[in-house]
């Protein structure tokens, strides 16, 4: 018998615009939490069953998990805790050390805000995270999702974090055919209605786990889903078609030039990018501004760190950011006394690992080292 028939009369799931009635909500909560108690993922930042979550662990993991997969984050999380086991340790660390440890996670503004937030927690809150969504939202790098995740998971508050996994579960459970991102408020409202007053954090993590392991974007495992009997998309054969998404606009391509400058001591010039903006505060091989247009990478002399004979190296360095593709031409130059005239960091090739180079700049270094030897001045 269909499980919806076992619910009290006229209590099956209703269209999204109608409130979720109590018996349906309670049955839903029992199914979700019962599944979670048996099948929860074991993640290094999660508290063991029956134990209280560590707010520092929850916060650190949630910041790392923004735009990054669980599989990638695990090793970084464990390494951060090994170096900085408490929020006070992170707050007292030099920013460059934090940026260096963050290499490979991308979105480096997260690392800068992480460090800034840690300092604020220590100086303004005596090392204790505030426990309400409203207070958490004041902190650097914490938006509505992270504030709700911390409030519910770390402090047991009734709050509703909604990530991509939860959006997918809600869209399918209620057969929401409106496309994302327009459907986000509706999906958030549904998630809020279903969130229980008790174990709100476990409920959120349960939906995340269901979305990550069962209600996956493709090839959903509806036959083993604890919500299958109440899932409108499954009943209508729409699971793999939801949620719908608006067609993405093609990413534009920006172009620029990177300047590989070697002095007479065989040191290479590096510099720190401005604090604000993409890759803010990171170390880079000096580069021009990145502009759209085929001729954007040809403005070599105007933006070069010094005037010298620059030689174009073969090929380009390609990298993709969230909102655009990047192509960097690399030019090589030599100098003698420039070390005393040019602002920046002069670095031997064996010292690159000591600096927080973002992935795109590691590609520039590899490209230059490969081709500069073949094209000596």
Active-site positions read: 62
Query: What is d(CA 300, CA 286) in angstroms, rounded to the nearest whole number?
Result: 11
Query: What is d(CA 55, CA 253) in angstroms, rounded to the nearest whole number?
Result: 40
**Which 3 state secondary structure label does DSSP give 314?**
strand
**Which 3 state secondary structure label does DSSP give 2?**
coil
How many C-beta atoms surround the C-beta of residue 329 within 10 A?
21
Q: What DSSP letter does each residue of 249-293 carry, written as one string?
A: PPPPEEEEEEEEEE-TTS-EEEEEPPSSSTTTT-EE--B---EES
Residue 195: Cβ-neighbour burial (10 angstroms; 0-12, 13-18, 19+): buried
10: DSSP letter: T
**Which 3 state secondary structure label does DSSP give 346?**
strand
Contact status, residue 202 vs residue 33, Cβ threshold 8 Å: yes
Query: What is d(CA 242, CA 18) in angstroms, rounded to the nearest whole number?
Result: 20
User: In the structure encoding, which two tokens stand for residue 282, read together?
Assistant: 């990171």
Contact status, residue 243 vs residue 218, Cβ threshold 8 Å: no
Query: What is d(CA 197, CA 194) in angstroms, rounded to the nearest whole number?
Result: 10
């Amino acid at each position: 018998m269909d499980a919806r028939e076992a619910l009290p009369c006229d209590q099956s799931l209703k269209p999204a615009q109608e409130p979720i009635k109590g018996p349906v909500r309670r049955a839903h909560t029992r199914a979700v939490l019962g599944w979670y108690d048996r099948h929860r993922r074991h993640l290094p930042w999660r508290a063991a069953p029956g134990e209280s979550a560590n707010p520092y662990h929850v916060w650190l993991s949630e910041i790392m998990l923004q735009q990054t997969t669980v599989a990638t984050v695990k090793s970084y999380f464990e390494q951060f805790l090994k170096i900085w086991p408490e929020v006070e340790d992170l707050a007292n660390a030099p920013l460059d050390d934090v940026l260096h440890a963050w290499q490979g996670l991308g979105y480096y503004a997260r690392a800068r805000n992480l460090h800034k937030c840690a300092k604020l927690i220590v100086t303004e809150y005596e090392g204790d995270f505030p426990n309400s969504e409203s207070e958490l939202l004041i902190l650097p790098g914490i938006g509505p999702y992270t504030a709700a995740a911390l409030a519910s998971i770390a402090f047991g508050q009734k709050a509703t974090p909604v990530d991509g996994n939860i959006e997918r579960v809600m869209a399918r459970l209620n057969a929401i055919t409106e496309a994302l991102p327009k459907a986000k408020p509706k999906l958030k409202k549904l998630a809020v209605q279903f969130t229980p007053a008790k174990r709100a954090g476990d409920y959120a993590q349960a939906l995340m786990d269901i979305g990550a392991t069962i209600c996956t974007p493709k090839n959903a495992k509806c036959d083993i889903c604890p919500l299958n009997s109440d899932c409108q998309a499954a009943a209508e054969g729409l699971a793999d078609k939801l949620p719908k998404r608006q067609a993405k606009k093609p990413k534009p391509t920006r172009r620029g030039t990177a300047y590989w400058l070697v002095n007479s001591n065989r040191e290479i010039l590096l510099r720190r990018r401005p604090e604000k903006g993409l890759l803010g505060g990171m170390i880079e091989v000096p580069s021009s501004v990145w502009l759209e247009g085929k001729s954007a990478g040809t403005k070599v002399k105007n933006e070069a760190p010094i005037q010298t004979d620059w030689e174009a190296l073969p090929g380009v360095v390609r990298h993709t950011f969230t909102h655009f593709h990047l192509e960097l031409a690399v030019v090589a130059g030599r100098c003698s006394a420039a070390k005393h005239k040019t602002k920046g960091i002069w670095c031997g090739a064996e010292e690159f690992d000591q600096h927080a180079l973002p992935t795109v700049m590691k590609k520039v270094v590899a490209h230059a080292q490969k081709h500069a030897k073949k094209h000596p001045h």
